[in-house]
Structure 1
Amino acid sequence: MASGAPSRIFVSHLSGVPVFDPNGDQVGRVRDVVVMLRVARRPPRVLGLVVELTTRRRIFLPMTRVTGIESGQVISTGVLNVRRFEQRPTERLVFGELLDRRVTLAETGEEVTVLDLSVQQLPARRDWEVGRVFVRKGRKGSTFRRAKGETLTVEWSAVTGFSLEEHGQGAESLLATFEQLRAADLANVLHHLAPKRRAEVAAALDDDRLADVLEELPEDDQIEILGKLKEERAADVLEAMDPDDAADLLGELPEEDQERLLSLMEPADAADMRRLMSYEEHTAGGLMTTEPIVLRPDATVADALARVRNADLSPALAAQVYVCRPPDDTPTGKYLGTVHFQRLLRDPPYTLVSSILDDSLQTLDPKAALPVVAGFFATYDMVAAPVVDEAGSLLGAVTVDDVLDHMLPEDWRETEFHLDEPDEPHEPDGPVEGEEATAHG
């Protein structure tokens, strides 16, 4: 939400609101709000908006790509997936399913009608959730004069009739129960489910969440799950994965499947995949991601810190930024040096990154073998390292987690590596009916 915008927005105010890209061009209008219900009367997560394009096609705009809601308009990042919106089992449409619904006030047991819901962005996070419910007392369909006390706004937890039950079969309930698990722990859950159940849960996850989970699964599970998705959705999930992990997964598929999925991706993402797949798997080029933080020499420390704050970045990628002459996208930028996160914290916000860069740090050749890469990290105590070609262009960056992933035994993900298992805040009292729904297999 933009600075100065109200802390709560009622969804009725979003109906038909125009959606603009960063250049001020209108791309469509809001037609609905997509939420995911949760257990124990916890407020639903707001997943995104259903946007109707000028062509009448309805697409899904994730809330992570909404940069502002203000003055009767929605501002997006400009990166839109124009594939037609398809509602998933765990998703609820606010206008289509939740408004005008009869629910019960928990305190009095009185039935009321839902007129509106408010949504809000959580402090210091990119997540949005439903906050309050605007309801009207009286029998459904009754006609009476509006008077004081006929309508009221209550917290989500003050009403019943929306939220999921604590027990019951279905991917929806299982996902809500394990919503707060880390991707690696949710991957462990999926790995120990029956194949049919695993496919149901994977199909119900949103693209970003499924991408994170796939990166943590053994190779056989990755291939199995990807193969059961519709091809267009499989391409979307691959685009949402880290490029190096997506390239590794694509490399395990038959060549005809690779080409079919690559043809469904955005051209820029497909080009990255092809470039990564051209390197041997156990080399710096095969290990690297093509999406490190790249800045021009005239960028400031404030610019760098703004990029580092991106919640989608792993800690390793956020540990440093790479400075290149324009164009500043891999693999064409001329590499000048690295600025470490600690240095960014020590210098004033207006300082140019070109004046504080470390140009003495050795770089990795894309053909460098895994032992050489591991030795580099051990020698220089690094968590990420730039990969630069013979012409001096930045190709990407290797992170220490990818090095460890390839140095550990191939079946390391399938072994028990959790030492002290924390109690999950919303783990059910018993297994979900029909499955062993334990967070740790």
Structure 2
Amino acid sequence: MAAGVPRIFVSHLSGVPVFDPAGDQVGRVRDLVVMLRVGQRPPRLLGLVVELATRRRIFLPMTRVTAIQSGQVITTGVLNVRRFEQRPTERLVFGELLDRRVTLTETGEEVSVLDLSVHQLPARREWEIDRVFVRKGRKGSAFRRAKGEALTVEWTAVTGFSLEEQGQGAESLLATFEQLRPADLANVLHHLSPKRRAEVAAALDDDRLADVLEELPEDDQIEILGKLKEERAADVLEAMDPDDAADLLGELPTDDQERLLRLMQPGDAADMRRLMSYEERTAGGLMTTEPIVLRPDASVADALARVRNADLSPALAAQVYVCRPPDETPTGKYLGTVHFQRLLREPPPSLVSSILDSDLQPLDPEADLPAIAGFFATYDMVAAPVVDEAGALLGAVTVDDVLDHMLPEDWRETEFHLDEEVPTDGS
């Protein structure tokens, strides 16, 4: 573990309060959710089980945790209050891992798990379990306290936690391919039987499944979405890029569209409806509604901080769009674009309004695909703003979406390739 990265023992998180950015308490931590992995790789910490004041237990992803400090957890303020349901690949730390009997690899001695420590990976948003606090000797009981030496060891120094290589069905398959890029995992799913594909999709967390769905052929997308519970299907659509989610929704029957839209957060549903109002192969139909938008008084430092967001695609991070309030699409008046290279050349305190590229004409939402492709080729762009007649920024079109619609419809199926053999047994 890199120096300066704090280690947190999970016992210290039990019952700690969870606060939103305004300082209001939203609940308390009741458990931690991890995903075990094949071999000796440390488990990934997916999130926390938080009990609200109403006694409902919900899942809080670690991607929405901004800080764990001073006996409290701080969140982004965005919570999904759907009741927590444990998935096949998930393990509860307090409920399933603590007080478990495992074996020390070096000596073969059985020990009891008293605690686990987690840490955030350097320069990443992921968390892992890294160490295990164990006690040697026989397991205690309600009437006899266990005795023996207690020690802290690396996760790799014990066995008895990790997934077995064989016989784990979708769980083992998912762990085996965890490090694949979304496009390559989509390749794996595409070649599985419908039964196995549904099992693996059900076991993926919402964000991962959203990323994979964006890379699948349309038929596979519809099939997988149709086998999810409606509430979860709405959650996955919310996690997808808005333009991809709108395209997928547009392929569903009208009644199904409306049911899913009613289950989504109002802001996300409004974005979907707006995108679906445009023809698919126009700038309005291709754009994402979530580009980086800054006000004129924002600094270069502010812009660079937004560009560093690990969740942004390289194309969306290539420039920021400067607009008058409101700064969510559709915005106030669009003033211009600042490209990433220009941001790197300017002093951090400089205002973005002083370095605008305002000469380049934005795209009209009704611009068709040939006109958009010509724009990108002529000006060597990887993303472009879409602005309406009133001068409001509606979104941005990225080059990957242009290519997606210019390639043959079946390109995802004909161009899929992976060097590794795809397991298809058990279907």
| TM-score of the aligned structures, taking structure 2 as reference length | 0.97
1:5, 1:69 within 8 Å by CA — same for their partners in 2?
A: no
Q: Distance in 1 between matches of 2:93 and 2:335?
A: 50
Q: Aligned pair 1:187/2:212, yes or no?
A: no
Q: Aligned pair 1:249/2:241, yes or no?
A: no
The share of aligned pairs that are identical, in percent, is: 87
Gap change, CA 1:357 and 1:236, over 3 Å in 2:
same
Q: Distance in 2 between matches of 1:187 and 1:63?
A: 24
The Cα offsets for residues 205-230 of structure 1, whole Å up to 9 and x where unpaired, read as 00000000000000000000000000
2:5, 2:120 within 8 Å by CA — same for their partners in 1?
A: no
1:169, 1:432 within 8 Å by CA — same for their partners in 2?
A: no
Once the 2 structures are TM-superposed, how far is the Cα of residue 332 of structure 1 from its aligned partner?
2.7
Q: Tell me the residue number matched to 1:117.
A: 116
Q: Tell me the residue number matched to 1:406.
A: 405
Q: Tell me the residue number matched to 2:130.
A: 131
Q: Distance in 2 between matches of 1:321 and 1:422?
A: 37
Q: Tell me the residue number matched to 1:439.
A: none
Once the 2 structures are TM-superposed, how far is the Cα of residue 357 of structure 1 from its aligned partner?
1.2
Q: Tell me the residue number matched to 2:346.
A: 347
The Cα offsets for residues 184-223 of structure 1, whole Å up to 9 and x where unpaired, read as 0000100010001000000000000000000000000000
Q: Aligned pair 1:106/2:105, yes or no?
A: yes
The Cα offsets for residues 98-139 of structure 1, whole Å up to 9 and x where unpaired, read as 000000000000000000000000000000000100001111
1:288-303 matches, within 5 Å, as: 288-303=287-302
Q: Tell me the residue number matched to 1:166.
A: 165
Q: Tell me the residue number matched to 1:61.
A: 60
Q: Tell me the residue number matched to 2:379.
A: 380
Q: Tell me the residue number matched to 2:426.
A: 434
Q: Aligned pair 1:11/2:10, yes or no?
A: yes
Once the 2 structures are TM-superposed, how far is the Cα of residue 167 of structure 1 from its aligned partner?
2.2
Secondary structure class of the residue paired with 1:289: coil
Secondary structure class of the residue paired with 2:156: helix
The Cα offsets for residues 391-413 of structure 1, whole Å up to 9 and x where unpaired, read as 00000000000000000000000
Amino acid of the residue matched to residue 21 of structure 1? D
1:383, 1:400 within 8 Å by CA — same for their partners in 2?
A: yes
1:49, 1:60 within 8 Å by CA — same for their partners in 2?
A: yes
Q: Distance in 2 between matches of 1:221 and 1:120?
A: 36
The Cα offsets for residues 87-107 of structure 1, whole Å up to 9 and x where unpaired, read as 000000000100000000000
Secondary structure class of the residue paired with 1:223: helix
2:136, 2:147 within 8 Å by CA — same for their partners in 1?
A: no
Secondary structure class of the residue paired with 1:224: helix
The Cα offsets for residues 28-74 of structure 1, whole Å up to 9 and x where unpaired, read as 00000000000111000000000001111100000000000000000
Q: Tell me the residue number matched to 2:260.
A: 261
Secondary structure class of the residue paired with 2:22: coil
1:274-285 matches, within 5 Å, as: 274-285=273-284
Secondary structure class of the residue paired with 2:186: helix
1:24-35 matches, within 5 Å, as: 24-35=23-34
Q: Tell me the residue number matched to 2:70.
A: 71
Q: Tell me the residue number matched to 2:37.
A: 38
Amino acid of the residue matched to residue 121 of structure 1? Q
Q: Tell me the residue number matched to 1:308.
A: 307
Q: Distance in 2 between matches of 1:398 and 1:138?
A: 62
Secondary structure class of the residue paired with 2:310: coil
Q: Distance in 2 between matches of 1:152 and 1:415?
A: 54
Amino acid of the residue matched to residue 114 of structure 2? L
Amino acid of the residue matched to residue 162 of structure 2? S
Q: Distance in 2 between matches of 1:29 and 1:42?
A: 29
Amino acid of the residue matched to residue 299 of structure 2? T
Q: Distance in 2 between matches of 1:361 and 1:161?
A: 61
Once the 2 structures are TM-superposed, how far is the Cα of residue 431 of structure 1 from its aligned partner?
4.0
1:131-150 matches, within 5 Å, as: 131-141=130-140, 143=144, 150=149
The Cα offsets for residues 328-367 of structure 1, whole Å up to 9 and x where unpaired, read as 1100321100000001111111111111111111100000
- Return 214-223 or 326-335, whichever deviates more: 326-335
1:47, 1:62 within 8 Å by CA — same for their partners in 2?
A: yes
Q: Distance in 2 between matches of 1:276 and 1:433?
A: 40
Q: Distance in 1 between matches of 2:32 and 2:406?
A: 44
Q: Tell me the residue number matched to 2:228.
A: 229
Q: Distance in 2 between matches of 1:186 and 1:58?
A: 31
Q: Tell me the residue number matched to 1:204.
A: 203
Q: Distance in 2 between matches of 1:5 and 1:264?
A: 42
- Return 137-146 or 339-348, whichever deviates more: 137-146
2:363, 2:386 within 8 Å by CA — same for their partners in 1?
A: yes
Gap change, CA 1:382 and 1:6, over 3 Å in 2:
closer
- Return 166-175 or 338-347, whichever deviates more: 166-175
Once the 2 structures are TM-superposed, how far is the Cα of residue 422 of structure 1 from its aligned partner?
6.2
Q: Distance in 2 between matches of 1:124 and 1:94?
A: 25
Q: Distance in 1 between matches of 2:182 and 2:332?
A: 33
1:174, 1:432 within 8 Å by CA — same for their partners in 2?
A: no
Amino acid of the residue matched to residue 76 of structure 2? T
Q: Distance in 2 between matches of 1:145 and 1:228?
A: 48
Q: Distance in 2 between matches of 1:144 and 1:248?
A: 60
Q: Distance in 2 between matches of 1:231 and 1:404?
A: 31
1:288, 1:397 within 8 Å by CA — same for their partners in 2?
A: yes
Secondary structure class of the residue paired with 2:384: strand
Q: Distance in 2 between matches of 1:383 and 1:78?
A: 32
Q: Distance in 1 between matches of 2:42 and 2:304?
A: 32
Q: Distance in 1 between matches of 2:416 and 2:232?
A: 31
2:137, 2:147 within 8 Å by CA — same for their partners in 1?
A: no
Number of residue-to-residue matches in the alignment: 423
Amino acid of the residue matched to residue 305 of structure 1? L
